[in-house]
Amino acid sequence: MKQLYTIAVLLFSASALPAFAVTPPEGVPHHTVLSRTLDDEYDKYKKKADDFLKEGRYADARKQYQNCLEVPGFEKDTYATTKIDEIDRCLYLRDQASKAISAGRGSEAVGFWQQVLTINPTDPQTRSNLTDYWTDQGNIAYAQKKYGEAKKAYTEALSYAVKQDILRIQIQNSDTYLKQEQAAQATNEAAKQPLPSVTAAPANTPVVRKPAPVSVSPARTGMIAGIGAVGLGASLYALTLKSQFNSKLDELKKVSAEVDPDNDGTILTQAEKDRWDKAYADAQKASNKNGLYKACIGVASAAVIAEIYFLIKKPKAARKGLSWQPASSGVGIVARYTF
């Protein structure tokens, strides 16, 4: 009987105690701590992915967005799935642009690159491709003396370029030649007009003689043209080297994304490994020409500066007439007449 009484008292006491460990405070959900941890994990992946996307590192960004979807509770996250779709679209457009460039369809490639920038405006590789394309078009037009088209192409390249000094100089050169062409055209138009009637001047009217125009020697013209040709050749070769490197680098990234989608350094088959090795070797070979690329840029810059100097520095007109000067040998003076 005493034992039954003791058990009843213990049961009554246990039922009377507040259930601190069972019921959470009012208004606080059971998963508060867990949810905060999951949110932090999701935000970590999301920040990495956004940073990679701004740098144009699409494979790395896609992997981080995929990690966002693997966080419990975020399997159908709209933001991450949308970004993955955008990345796939950008990779497709960049691949189409590379094929168009290889086939000689430059304007079509420009359209693909511009679509990439519509999705990801900060993509540095795409902006560099557009800079190179429009600079190349400007150089071709400049060499053909189509200075209006050259200026338009250089201006287009300027909107994508990071380093703009040489482009601004080329735009200035194009403007200079355009003004010269406009002046020559105006002179030709004036020459076509009928001459006004000439009336004899009075006998005591002084005759004002205008100085003879300064003529540009063929040697000077040839020198300027030669400097321009050297600069243009160096620029075109530098652009070719850079385009080859970008193409090989894009191919390496594409192959890496296909044979190692998880980016963990694991390639499953030997055929895929051989494919990656070849892409890497091609990219490394193109990278080894970086010194030659810099040398070409230096030559092109020097040629531009030299060309500007000779365009700005006008030749001096030779003075005609009789002049006296000391004799080069012996004692006395020498009379000299310049025609």
DSSP string, 117-148: HHH-TT-HHHHHHHHHHHHHHHHHHHHTT-HH
Higher pLDDT, 225 or 73: 73
Instruction: Show the tokens assigned to 161.
Output: 């370029």
Answer whether 130's CB lies under 8 Å from 154's CB. no
Give yes or no for residue 81 having a pLDDT over 80: yes
**Of 292, 4, 297, the residue nearest 132 (C-alpha):** 297
pLDDT at 219 over 80: no
Residues linked to residue 338 through DSSP beta bridges, in sequence order: 321
* 297 contacts 306 by C-beta, under 8 angstroms: no
Largest CA distance in the chain: 160
Say how far apart CA 86 and CA 110 lie, in whole Å.
19
Placement of tokens 């007449």 in the chain: 337
Q: Residue 317 above 60 pLDDT?
A: no
pLDDT at 15 over 80: no
Question: What type of residue sits at position 132?
Answer: D
- What are the angstrom distances between the C-alpha of 122 and each of 36, 56, 173, 206? 32, 7, 30, 71
Q: Identify the H or E element spanning 273.
A: helix 270-287
Is the Cβ–Cβ distance between 121 and 130 less than 8 Å? no
Residue partners of 26: CB distance under 8 A and separation at least 6: none
Structure tokens at 126: 């795409």
Q: What is the pTM of this model?
A: 0.49
Q: Which helix (H) or strand (E) holds 197?
A: none
Mean pLDDT, rounded, for 20-42? 56
Choice between 163 and 305, residue whose per-residue pLDDT is larger:
163
Compute the distance between CA of residue 29 and CA of residue 288 in angstroms, rounded to an integer. 60
CA distances from 212 to 216, 310, 317 (A): 12, 21, 8
Average pLDDT over residues 75-104: 94
pLDDT beyond 50 at 301: yes
Q: Pick the more confident residue, 77 or 287.
A: 77
| Listed residue (139, 164, 148, 159) closest to 243, CA to CA | 139
Mean predicted confidence (pLDDT) in 310-324: 60
Contacts of 244 (CB under 8 A, 6+ apart): 286, 289
Q: Which of 107-111, 172-176, 207-211 has the highest mean pLDDT?
A: 107-111
Per-residue pLDDT, averaged over 281-296, amounts to 80
Q: What is the pLDDT of residue 26?
A: 54
User: Is the distance from CB of 298 to CB of 305 less than 8 angstroms?
Assistant: no
Residue 166 near residue 160 (C-beta atoms within 8 A): no
- Neighbour-count burial of 151, counting CB atoms closer than 10 A to its CB (0-12 exposed, 13-18 middle, 19+ buried): buried
The number of C-alpha atoms within 13 Å of 150 and in the hemisphere containing its C-beta is 22
Question: Which of 13-27, 29-43, 57-71 bottoms out in mean pLDDT, i.e. has the lowest?
Answer: 13-27
Task: Average the pLDDT over 322-332 and give the result.
Answer: 59
Using the predicted structure, report yes or no on whether residue 7 has a pLDDT greater than 50. no
**Lowest-confidence pick of 94-103, 160-169, 252-261:** 252-261
Beta-carbon neighbour count of residue 156 at 10 Å?
Answer: 19
What pLDDT does residue 281 have? 85
The pLDDT of residue 102 is above 80: yes
Q: Which amino acid is at 307?
A: E
